[in-house]
């Protein structure tokens, strides 16, 4: 079966039909129409075999996750996802693998209103690049640079689950099903992102770990933050794993959670329960923005907790 | 130096500043504004080391080419290029390599009005995925499906140069400088693409070889074509290489030319010199569209030339 046949069979028509997609397959480019008054948010992320996932990773989960990590960036901007393109590099034309991958990708695309509008299938070491575009009312995108001293620092969901699943799997254990699902099928917080428009002063998604990602908000906003370790939202498997001081890197510095971290003016704290309800996820205040630069994590006794690593960085020496 | 530092130093601010780019770096997504009355054309292409280029390929040429192959798809739709994103996977943080790559990418981006608005840098086997977006007045995009019997089949530039350069290099010879440049620094035919709006009945870019790519026009348009082998536009190195019948695969079935193939109503033939002038490239009529399905290549004596292979297909058995 040829490249064109494989694409036609497994990678076309994925996701939700959309009236703003004028052409999705069968030409040199896709053609898309943007409604006046909407800005386009664009992001791209690559997953490489052996770096971001195990080579024997379930292809259906990989299809889901490769889309999810991109939609998470759209959520962090308050954008509604619309169109995605997929560049897939495979060592061989394994049709079963491709069918499973397409199924996982399509599951998430359908449930989030996304249409796959373009792609490229090439031979080579297994690697997946997704580029996603979302729409946001003009001028309403959430940015990283708007946090102000006094703002509350909030996170959605729980922290460290994906990191714990990965640690268990790296040690050769079977990961707990619930946290393994968090690693393999993260839920992009799209409804939260749109609910935070005009409410949050800044937002980012947690892909590299809280310290690293919140650090980007602080750098963009020109301020610092105090985080209370005891307030971090944890599932019971992660709580149980925190036997020593160094284990706190799980919720603070392990990646792949794909929750949102955002800042909220203190006067809007009363809105959190309603936001959590409309976004269908827990929201937790974990600290506050301060004018002094730097990110401090405070132990229950108020002393400062320090830790060498700050996040996941591919090329750090 | 960290991933973020490397991106900041070599992969930000590449290309032409544009007023419609509201955010390009430093946030979860880029933010773009589309003027009302414009459609967005979107394409993506991956280049993999060892498949699409030699691992020791000059990184500056690679930077140029990885953008050029995508802009060529925009040209084929009649779109003006606007924004690109770059997902780069590198085996190690080789700063010299990255600087050269960025230089080649930026050279073409600046000369074509394109802005790099997003990217991802990951560690892994060398691979480059570019996604490009262009703008075209609503409803004016060139499509593959509009060719009609009687239309002239035209191509820009010359055919087979890149294929010959690749053949010479694969045989361990130094390729002629002029044709090697055609392989390594192809010129996307952007001015031709916009000039063909409202004129050509169909268009495609020649990435996989004339027979394969023209075949897509014929399949989409539901017709056939007769091509006269003697009319194919050839440079002297390619002409000199055509010593036998099988060598005709060079201009007919080798890829990487990145010229445009398009169809023109016969009544518009007189416009070709003006189109060639405004696009600053040769345009040649090589045959015509016929109602009978299939693509026939005719020898100078009118007999039909046949050839087994039809193009480049990664996964064909």
Instruction: Give the pLDDT confidence of B244-281 residue by residue, as tens digits.
Output: 777 888 999 999 999 999 999 999 999 999 999 999 99
Give the residue on A whose Cα is nearest the Cα of B146. A27
The model's confidence at residue A313, banded by pLDDT at 50, 70 and 90, is low
- Top pLDDT among A201 and B308 is at A201
Neighbours of A247 (CB within 10 A): 15
CB distance B134–A29 less than 8 Å? yes
CA distance A132 to A74: 8
Q: For chain B, what is the mean pLDDT?
A: 93
CA distance A252 to A245: 12
Q: Tell me if B85 sits within 8 A of A44, measured CB to CB.
A: yes
Mean of pLDDT values over B17-24: 95
The model's confidence at residue A8, banded by pLDDT at 50, 70 and 90, is confident
Task: Write out the two tokens for A82.
Answer: 């619309």
Give the per-residue pLDDT at B72.
98
Q: Which residues contact A196 (CB under 8 A, 6 or more apart)?
A: A78, A142, A203, A260, A262, A275
Mean of pLDDT values over A199-208: 97
Q: Say if residue B111's pLDDT is above 60.
A: yes
Query: Which stretches of A30-160 are DSSP H helices?
Result: 59-76, 95-111
Gap from B232 CA to chain A (nearest CA, Å): 23
Q: Say if residue B1's pLDDT is above 80.
A: no
Query: Which stretches of B112-201 are DSSP H helices?
Result: 161-170, 177-184, 190-195
For chain B, count helices (H), then strands (E): 10, 13
- Chain A contact probe: residue of B206, B260, B315 with most A CBs at under 10 A: B315
Mean of pLDDT values over B3-8: 78
CB distance B27–A134 less than 8 Å? no
Q: What is the sign, positive or negative, of the torsion defined by CA atoms of A145, A148, A149, A151?
A: negative
Q: For chain A, what is the mean pLDDT?
A: 93
CB distance A32–B40 less than 8 Å? yes
**What is the three-class DSSP state of B220?**
helix
A-chain residues near B3 (CB < 8 A): 313-316
CB distance A28–B44 less than 8 Å? no
Give the per-residue pLDDT at A311.
54
Gap from B304 CA to chain A (nearest CA, Å): 26
Mean of pLDDT values over B3-31: 89
| Burial of A81 per CB tally in 10 Å (0-12, 13-18, 19+) | buried
B-chain residues near A120 (CB < 8 A): 44-46, 129
Q: Say if residue B243's pLDDT is above 90.
A: no
Give the residue on B whose Cα is nearest the Cα of A261. B28
Gap from A198 CA to chain B (nearest CA, Å): 17
Q: Say if residue A307's pLDDT is above 70.
A: no
Q: Which of A104-108, A165-169, B61-65 has the lowest mean pLDDT?
A: A165-169
Largest CA distance in chain A: 65
Give the per-residue pLDDT at A317.
32
> Residue B159 — φ and ψ, nearest 5°?
-115, 140
- Top pLDDT among B11 and B164 is at B164
CB distance A27–B205 less than 8 Å? no
Gap from A188 CA to chain B (nearest CA, Å): 13
Of the candidates A31, A34, A85, the beta carbon closest to that of B34 is on: A34
Share of chain B above pLDDT 70, in %: 96
Give the per-residue pLDDT at B317.
32
For A48-89, how does the pLDDT look when each residue is reduced to its tens digit (9 = 90+)? 999 899 888 999 999 999 999 999 999 999 999 999 999 999
Share of chain A above pLDDT 90, in %: 82
- Cα separation of the two ends of chain B: 44
> What residues does B85 pair with on adjacent strands?
B118, B131
CA distances from A210 to A73, A227, A253, A258, B59 (A): 15, 10, 6, 10, 35
Mean of pLDDT values over B197-217: 96
Q: Say if residue B314's pLDDT is above 90.
A: no
A-chain residues near B211 (CB < 8 A): none
| Burial of B240 per CB tally in 10 Å (0-12, 13-18, 19+) | exposed
For A16-54, how does the pLDDT look when each residue is reduced to its tens digit (9 = 90+)? 999 999 999 889 999 999 999 999 999 999 999 998 998
CB distance A120–B44 less than 8 Å? yes
CA distance A295 to A298: 10
Q: Say if residue B311's pLDDT is above 60.
A: no
Q: Tell me if B315 sits within 8 A of A2, measured CB to CB.
A: yes
Long-range contacts of B163-168 (CB under 8 A, 24+ apart): B163/B209, B163/B249, B163/B250, B163/B251, B163/B254, B163/B255, B163/B256, B163/B257, B164/B237, B164/B238, B164/B241, B164/B250, B164/B254, B166/B254, B166/B256, B167/B241, B167/B250, B167/B254
* CA dihedral of B103, B105, B106, B109, whole degrees rounded to 10: 160
Task: Write out the two tokens for B121.
Answer: 């840098």
Q: What is the b/e burial string over A97-120, where b = at least 16 CB atoms within 10 angstroms of the residue's CB? A: bbbbbbebbbbbbeebebbbbbbb
Closest CA to A156 of A201, A206, A199, A202: A206
Q: Say if residue A130's pLDDT is above 90.
A: yes
CB distance A79–B205 less than 8 Å? no
Give the per-residue pLDDT at B315.
59
For B113-150, how does the pLDDT look when each residue is reduced to its tens digit (9 = 90+)? 999 999 899 999 999 999 999 999 999 999 999 999 99
Mean of pLDDT values over A169-198: 94
CA distance B258 to B255: 8
- Top pLDDT among A192 and B13 is at A192
Give the per-residue pLDDT at B30.
96
Mean of pLDDT values over B165-177: 90
Of the candidates A32, A44, A313, the beta carbon closest to that of B3 is on: A313
Task: Write out the two tokens for A269.
Answer: 């704290």
pTM of the model: 0.94
Gap from A300 CA to chain B (nearest CA, Å): 32
- Give strand ranges (E) for chain A: 21-23, 30-33, 38-48, 80-90, 115-123, 127-137, 152-156, 202-205, 224-228, 260-264, 283-290, 294-298, 304-305
Q: Say if residue A246's pLDDT is above 80.
A: no
CB distance B28–A77 less than 8 Å? yes
Q: What is the b/e burial string over A24-39, where b = at least 16 CB atoms within 10 angstroms of the residue's CB? A: beebbbbbbbbeeebb
For B35-58, how does the pLDDT look when each residue is reduced to its tens digit (9 = 90+)? 999 999 999 999 999 989 988 899
């Amino acid at each position: 079966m040829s490249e064109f046949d494989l694409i036609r069979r497994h990678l076309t028509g994925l996701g939700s039909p959309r009236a703003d997609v004028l052409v999705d397959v069968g030409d040199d480019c896709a053609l898309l129409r943007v409604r006046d008054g909407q800005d386009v948010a664009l992001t791209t992320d690559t997953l490489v075999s052996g770096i971001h996932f195990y080579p024997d990773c379930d292809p259906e989960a990989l299809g889901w996750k490769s889309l999810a990590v991109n939609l998470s960036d759209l959520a962090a901007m308050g954008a509604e996802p619309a169109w995605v393109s997929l560049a897939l590099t495979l060592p061989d034309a394994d049709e079963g693998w491709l069918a499973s991958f397409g199924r996982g990708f399509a599951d998430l695309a359908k449930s989030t209103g996304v249409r796959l509008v373009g792609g490229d299938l090439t031979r080579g070491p297994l690697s997946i690049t997704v580029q996603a575009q979302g729409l946001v009312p003009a001028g309403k995108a959430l940015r990283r640079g708007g946090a102000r001293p006094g703002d509350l620092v909030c996170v959605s969901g729980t922290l460290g689950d994906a990191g714990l699943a990965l640690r268990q799997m790296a040690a050769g254990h079977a990961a707990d099903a619930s946290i393994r699902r968090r690693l393999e099928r993260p839920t992009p917080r799209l409804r939260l992102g749109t609910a935070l428009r005009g409410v949050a002063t800044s937002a980012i998604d947690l892909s590299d770990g809280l310290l690293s990602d919140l650090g980007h908000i602080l750098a963009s906003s020109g301020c610092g933050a105090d985080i209370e370790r005891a307030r971090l939202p944890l599932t019971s498997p992660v709580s149980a794993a925190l036997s020593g001081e160094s284990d706190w890197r799980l919720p603070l510095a392990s990646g792949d959670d794909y929750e949102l971290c955002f800042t909220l003016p203190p006067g809007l704290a009363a809105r959190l329960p309603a936001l959590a309800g409309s976004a269908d996820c827990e929201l937790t205040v974990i600290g506050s923005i301060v004018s002094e630069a730097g990110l401090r994590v405070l132990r229950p006794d108020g002393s400062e907790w320090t830790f060498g690593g700050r996040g996941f960085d591919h090329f750090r020496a």
